[in-house]
Amino acid sequence: RSRYLLRGCDGTRPVAAFETALLDTILSGGATIAENGQPIRDPERLRVIVRDAVVGELADFARRGLLLP
């Protein structure tokens, strides 16, 4: 996940584009997010998880100095 996001951080994409791409990958079966060992299938629940994950990863990149203003 982190590698995918970092490669895309070239200043041309809004945060929503990362969220949409990751959610599309999950919904198409290319990746899975699970809770308590069970895959999450609810699109709205996945949307919240993906949004939080993307925002958290981008904030971490910024803290580590990997993103330029």
Q: Looking at the predicted structure, is the pLDDT value of residue 4 above 70?
A: yes
- pLDDT tens-digit map of 16-43: 999 999 999 999 999 999 999 999 999 9
The answer to pTM > 0.85 is no
Which of the residue ranges 16-20, 48-52, 65-69 would you say has the lowest mean pLDDT? 65-69
Q: Which residues pair with 38 in a beta bridge?
A: 35
The one-letter code for the residue type at 53 is A
Please report the pLDDT score of residue 67 as a whole number.
86
**Residues ≥6 apart with Cβ < 8 Å to 19:** 47, 50, 51, 54
- The answer to whether 44 and 33 are in contact (CB under 8 A) is no
Please report the pLDDT score of residue 57 as a whole number.
93
